[in-house]
Structure 1
Amino acid sequence: MKLEKLTTKDALQLTNLLHIAYESDEKLGIHFAAATISQEEVKKHLLLTPTFGYKDQTGNLISTISVRLPWSENPSPYFLPHIGWVATNPVYKHQGYAKKIIVTTVTKFIKNVLKSPAATLGTAIEHPWLKELYMSLGFVPFEEVRKHSDHKTVYLVKILDRSNLENINDQELKTILYKAGVLKGENNAI
């Protein structure tokens, strides 16, 4: 199965996938915007944000992921590519699609194409298993922020090139990473 870039032609399928995949989070009392996003908003997202997916043999979307870029109209929260909209059709749950799409996107797109030193993502700290899933893939928590009334967001980072991350031209991000112990060394006193 090949990872493919989604286009506006995939907007309806992607909207439906997001709604059904995020339904379980709604039942937990955690609202992610993707759970109720409109098809028009998804179309706009597809035009502005690299979004990828796995499809079955008949072209039905199985799993998806998007990567918000710092310089885009919908920028990432830090000066690094930010993973979002990780979703798998519940029919295919527990088959490793979420892990596979994250690992493939981080390696083939964020590291090899964008040449980024790291990638971030965020999830609800109240979610019973997402933080642990991301940590099992090498993401490390570095900041918690209350952005929504129903949940607190924990941000995680996956370092791909430590020396380039230490030299990134974003002092605020570096300070947060040193303070959290994600980056260590003489700059720890920033």
Structure 2
Amino acid sequence: MSEVYRLAELKDAEQLLDVTYRAYALIRELGLHWPAATADLALIQDNIAVNECYVLELDGVIIATITLSKEEEIKKLSPLPFIKWFAAHPDYSNKGYGGKLLDWVEEHVILGQLGSPEVTLATAQKHPWLVQMYERRGYERFLELDPQNGDGMMYLLKKQLTDKPQLIQRG
């Protein structure tokens, strides 16, 4: 089995729509207003074009995706790199592929390319296991906010990627 980590391309949009839609089923059931949960093909294409959308392919099939946001709105909450739209295809769940992609993005992109020693992401308090999953992976809550959209309390979490201080490079 061949694993490939890479940036998504527009030609990947239909596969990414399928992976994201399947992976975000619980988000829709919980009634959370996350754009990825109800994304259509145009929104997936926009995400690929505007942000850095990474994928993990297994034998040519996309099985996990994660986005490094380039949106200015996020930078108002934290100047650190921000991860969003993290999804692993449910057919491959509990096999560690999502975690492998997250590790790869943290190490090779955020720390390696950007030189940032920390990364952030957000999740909902009412999700039954996401907060605990990220905390097991070394993320710590540092901000609570209620977006007043029915999602309830959201947590902004950050993770220290290295103990060595490094210069943050932004492009």
What band does the TM-score fall into relative to the shorter chain? 0.7 to 0.9
Counterpart code for 1:116 = S
Answer yes or no: is 1:119 the counterpart of 2:119. Answer: yes
Give the number of aligned pairs. Answer: 164
**Cα separation, 2, equivalents of 1:163 and 1:13:** 38
Give distance in 1, aligned partners of 2:156 and 2:28.
Answer: 20
Q: Deviation at 1:100?
A: 1.3
Q: Return the TM-score normalized by structure 2.
A: 0.87
Quick check: 1:48–1:74 contact (8 Å CA) kept in 2? no
1:129 is displaced (CA, Å) by: 0.8
Write the distance in 2 (CA, Å) between the matches of 1:155 and 1:34.
17
Distance (whole Å) between structure 1 residues aligned to residue 14 and residue 79 of structure 2: 30
The letter of the residue matching 2:152 is H
The TM-score, its normalising length taken from structure 1, stands at: 0.79
Looking at structure 1, the residues matched to 20 and 57 of structure 2 have their Cα atoms a distance apart, in angstroms, of 14
Secondary structure at 2:107's aligned position in 1? helix
Answer whether contact 1:88 1:98 (CA < 8 A) is retained: yes
Cα RMSD of the aligned pairs, angstroms, is 2.0
What residue number does 2:68 align with?
67
Rounded Cα–Cα distance in structure 2 between residues aligned with 1:18 and 1:151:
22
d(CA) in 1 for partners of 2:134 and 2:66? Answer: 14
Structure 1: unaligned runs, 5 residues or longer: 169-190
Higher Rg of the two aligned structures: 1
Instruction: Tell me, yes or no, if the aligned pair for 1:142 and 1:156 is still in contact at 8 Å.
Output: yes
Deviations 1:142-181 (A, max 9, x none): 011111313321010011356748x98xxxxxxxxxxxxx
Contact 1:126-1:152 at 8 Å conserved across structures? yes
**In structure 2, what is the equivalent of residue 100 of structure 1?**
100
Unaligned runs of 5+ in 2: none
Given candidates 28, 38, 52, the residue that maps to 2:40 is 38
Matched residues, percent identical?
A: 30
- SS of equivalent to 2:151: coil
Equivalent residue letter for 1:25: I
Q: Could you give the per-residue CA deviations for residues 102-148 of structure 1, whole angstroms, max 9, x where no partner exists?
A: 11110110001000121000001111110111111111110111113
Query: For the residues of structure 2 that align with 1:86 and 1:43, how far apart are their CA atoms?
Result: 16
CA distance in 2, matches of 1:68, 1:33: 13
